[in-house]
Amino acid sequence: MNITRLIDQKLSLRRSLDSGTSKQRADVYNIVEDVRERGDQALFHYTEKFDRVALRELVVQKQEIDEAYQQLDESLVAVIKQAANNIREYHAKQKKESWFYHREDGTMLGQKITPLDAVGVYVPGGTAAYPSSVLMNVIPAQVAGVERIVLVSPPNQDGKLPSGVLIAANELGVKEIYKVGGAQAISALAYGTESIKAVDKIVGPGNIYVALAKRQVFGTVDIDMIAGPSEIVVLADETAMPNEIAADLLSQAEHDKLASSVLVTPSIQLAEAVKAEVEKQLETLPRKEIAKASVEQFGQIYVAEGLEEAINAVNELAPEHLEVMTSSPYEVLPLVKHAGAIFLGRYSSEPVGDYFAGPNHVLPTNGTARFSSPLNLDDFVKKSSIIAYSKEAFTENAAKIASFARLEGLEAHARAIEERLKEDS
């Protein structure tokens, strides 16, 4: 982990977004189209090919869920439930109501807010099974009022889904769970097959094949963001504990060799102490190899001239996760312009937010916090404008509206207005 003076450094987290190789893009294109045409038959085919298991049924049976409970400690089920409650509480605060107002001329204007009908949640398989991903993607959809929630996840070679994933889904009351992953699952959600009815939006993280497939079906259905590798920026002064900062940086680094962990501080002493702690703590990590590669390639410590410069650096980075460990974190908050999630103070360690606190862990990565938000309730509703023009308002403004239409060369628009004046005269 290098220590760099910030002055005259142009900061950037922007690793280039993985848009896949041309072979990957072509493969995904063909898989998506094949599933679109052949439906379930193609799903079984690709599941056998990529997940190495020949399924006869995609839908998860009640028995499989019962078995999952036998494999997980009861206390963990309780933790999942409590996390779900916290997440539900936080997301319920985001709920918006339809609204309207009247103008003096009797016109009513407003916005009708309606949940999406059906949402598909992709849960990645592979080395790590993420029940937290189930909670973070399903709960906002439920709170928003989405009636149909469909979970898809690739089976292992025994044709099973991870117990934690099944339990999380079951605790939330998810009714449709299918054992299918990859680009084939995304195509099924977008276009529908015999077993899986199409949805309106697909959310959830996935590998490059999933990401490419989501990009391909975008427009037919909505998608959430295409997430890049994860990142954390810690903004700390000399009052912070080096061992805690180091542990937080490493918790990010263990995710992915491409993950990025950055400390920005005005204190050279802290910078040096954190560097030493990172090196020490790294040694005993089970995922040492991944964390080490991440730290070496994308780990950075920037020493700023002062707190103000450090905050500017944070805004330039627009990090996914920002921890503020300074003497007065609430005084820093108004100055933070761009960050997915802001963790204030010593006890707001990033994993608190990953699993438990309540805010969503699906966050904008790679500098996109400049223009994107954490997954939230607005992602699962849509708005309809309401226009109820009064006769008074219409009569008063008809000529103006017609003249505006003619300015744009749209005569039929003007006549639609004038047709109503005829009837009134």
Q: Is 314 in the site for a copy of itself (CB under 8 A)?
A: no
**230 labelled as ligand-binding?**
yes
Integer Cα distance of 203 and 222 in angstroms: 9
Integer Cα distance of 83 and 87 in angstroms: 6
Q: Is 88 in the site for a copy of itself (CB under 8 A)?
A: no
Q: Is 69 in the site for a copy of itself (CB under 8 A)?
A: no
Integer Cα distance of 276 and 1 in angstroms: 9
Window of 46-54, 153-161, 185-193, 331-339 that interacts with a copy of itself by CB under 8 A? 331-339
Tokens of 330: 């609430």
Q: Is 22 in the site for a copy of itself (CB under 8 A)?
A: no
Instruction: Check: CB of residue 311 under 8 Å from CB of residue 332.
Output: yes
Total residues contacting a copy of itself by CB under 8 A comes to 122
Query: Closer to a copy of itself at the Cβ: 7 or 410?
Result: 410
Q: Is 50 in the site for a copy of itself (CB under 8 A)?
A: no
Instruction: Check: CB of residue 246 under 8 Å from CB of residue 284.
Output: no
**403 labelled as ligand-binding?**
no
* Sequence-separated (6 or more) residues with CB below 8 Å from residue 111: 98, 99, 100, 383, 384, 385, 386
Instruction: Check: CB of residue 96 under 8 Å from CB of residue 377.
Output: yes
Q: Check if 320 is active-site.
A: yes
Locus of tokens 């998810």: 174
Q: Check if 194 is active-site.
A: no
Site for a copy of itself in 354-373 (CB under 8 A): 354-360, 363-364, 368-373
Exactly one of 109, 258, 276, 293 binds a copy of itself (CB under 8 A); that residue is 109
Exactly one of 6, 124, 132, 317 binds a copy of itself (CB under 8 A); that residue is 132
Q: Is 13 in the site for a copy of itself (CB under 8 A)?
A: no
Query: Closer to a copy of itself at the Cβ: 297 or 348?
Result: 348
Instruction: Check: CB of residue 418 under 8 Å from CB of residue 402.
Output: yes
* Sequence-separated (6 or more) residues with CB below 8 Å from residue 127: none
Site for a copy of itself in 294-313 (CB under 8 A): none
Q: Supply the minimum distance, in Å, between the C-beta of residue 323 and a copy of itself.
A: 9
Query: Closer to a copy of itself at the Cβ: 173 or 286?
Result: 286
Instruction: Provide the H-helix boundaries in 39-73.
Output: 40-46, 62-71
Residues forming the active site: 320-321
